[in-house]
Structure 1
Amino acid sequence: MKVVCVGAGPAGLYFAILAKRRDPSAEVCVLERNPEGVTYGWGVTFSDDVLDSLYAGDPESAARIRDDPASWGDQLVTLGDQAPAHLGGYGFAIGRHRLLEILAERAVELGVRISYRHQVEDLAEFADADLIVAADGANSAIRERYVERFGTQREAGRNHYIWLGTSKVFPEFRYAFEPTEAGWIWFYAYPFDHQTTTFIVECAPATWTGLGFDRLDPEQTKAALERIFARHLDGHPLLVQSRDQHMSPWLHFTWITNQAWYHGNLVLAGDAAHTTHFSIGNGTKLAIDDAIELDRQVGRQPDLDAAVAAYQQERIAAVGARQRIARASAAWFEDVEDFTERSPTRFAYSLRTRTDSSRPAPGGVPWLLHLATQSSLGRQGRRWLSAARRWRRNGQRGAAS
Structure 2
Amino acid sequence: MHVKVVCVGGGPAGLYLAILLKRQNPSHDITVHERDPEGSTYGWGVTYWRGLLDRLQEHDPESARAVEEHSVRWNEGVAHVRDLAARHHGDEGFGIGRHRLLELLAGRARALGVRLEYRSDIGEPPAGADLVVAADGVHSALRTRRAEHFGTRTSSGRNHYIWLGTTKVFDAFTFAFTETAHGWIWAYGYGYGDGHSTCVVECSPETFTGLGLDRADRAEGLVLLEKLFAGVLDGHPLIARPGASWLTFRTLTNRTWHHGNLVLLGDAAHTTHYSIGAGTTLALEDAMCLAGALREHAALPDALAAYERRRQAELLSVQSAARYSAQWYENLPRYIHLPPHRMFALLGQRHSPLLPYVPPQLYYGLDRAAGRLEALRRLKRWLGPRAARALHARSTARRD
1:75–1:89 contact (8 Å) kept in structure 2 = no
Match of 2:100 among 70, 91, 98: 98
2:86–2:344 contact (8 Å) kept in structure 1 = no
2:45–2:97 contact (8 Å) kept in structure 1 = yes
Q: Distance in 2 between matches of 1:85 and 1:224?
A: 26
User: Quick one: which amino acid aligns to residue 293 of structure 2?
Assistant: Q
Detail structure 1 runs of 4+ shifted over 6 Å in the superposition. 366-369
For 2:200, the equivalent position in structure 1 comes to 200
- 1:266 offset after TM fit, Å? 0.2
- 1:366 offset after TM fit, Å? 7.0
For 2:369, the equivalent position in structure 1 comes to 363
In structure 2, the residue corresponding to 1:364 is in which secondary structure?
helix
For 1:398, the equivalent position in structure 2 comes to none
2:75–2:89 contact (8 Å) kept in structure 1 = no
For 1:70, the equivalent position in structure 2 comes to 72
1:186–1:203 contact (8 Å) kept in structure 2 = yes
User: Quick one: which amino acid aligns to residue 79 of structure 2?
Assistant: V
For 1:108, the equivalent position in structure 2 comes to 110
Bigger CA radius of gyration:
2
Q: Distance in 2 between matches of 1:358 and 1:152?
A: 39
Give the RMSD, CA atoms, in angstroms.
1.4
For 2:128, the equivalent position in structure 1 comes to 128
Report the CA distance shift for 1:83/1:66 in structure 2 as closer, same or farther (over 3 A).
closer
User: Quick one: which amino acid aligns to residue 158 of structure 2?
Assistant: R
Q: Distance in 2 between matches of 1:320 and 1:242?
A: 35
For 1:324, the equivalent position in structure 2 comes to 320
In structure 2, the residue corresponding to 1:225 is in which secondary structure?
helix
Question: TM-score with structure 2 length normalisation?
Answer: 0.88
For 1:235, the equivalent position in structure 2 comes to 235
Deviations 1:158-187 (A, max 9, x none): 000000000011111100101000000000
For 1:270, the equivalent position in structure 2 comes to 266
Query: Is residue 2:152 matched to residue 1:152?
Result: yes
Question: TM-score with structure 1 length normalisation?
Answer: 0.88
Taking the TM superposition and a 5 Å limit, the aligned residue runs for 1:1-400 are: 1-123=3-125, 126-243=126-243, 249-354=245-350, 355-356=355-356, 357-359=360-362, 360-361=365-366, 362-365=368-371
In structure 2, the residue corresponding to 1:358 is in which secondary structure?
helix
Report the CA distance shift for 1:59/1:85 in structure 2 as closer, same or farther (over 3 A).
closer
1:77–1:87 contact (8 Å) kept in structure 2 = no
In structure 2, the residue corresponding to 1:73 is in which secondary structure?
strand
- 1:89 offset after TM fit, Å? 3.0
User: Quick one: which amino acid aligns to residue 211 of structure 1?
Assistant: L
- 1:368 offset after TM fit, Å? 9.9
Report the CA distance shift for 1:117/1:366 in structure 2 as closer, same or farther (over 3 A).
farther
Of the two structures, which has the highest relative contact order with CA contacts closer than 8 Å and spacing of 6 or more? 1
What's the % identity of the aligned pairs? 48
Q: Distance in 2 between matches of 1:83 and 1:64?
A: 35
Q: Distance in 2 between matches of 1:46 and 1:187?
A: 18
- 1:230 offset after TM fit, Å? 1.0
Where structure 2 has 5 or more consecutive residues not aligned to the other structure, the ranges are 376-400
- 1:255 offset after TM fit, Å? 0.2
Q: Distance in 1 between matches of 2:373 and 2:139?
A: 41
- 1:82 offset after TM fit, Å? 1.9
In structure 1, the residue corresponding to 2:73 is in which secondary structure?
strand
In structure 2, the residue corresponding to 1:72 is in which secondary structure?
strand
1:70–1:194 contact (8 Å) kept in structure 2 = no
How many residues matched?
A: 363
In structure 2, the residue corresponding to 1:129 is in which secondary structure?
coil
- 1:85 offset after TM fit, Å? 4.0
1:349–1:367 contact (8 Å) kept in structure 2 = no
- 1:358 offset after TM fit, Å? 2.1
Where structure 1 has 5 or more consecutive residues not aligned to the other structure, the ranges are 370-401
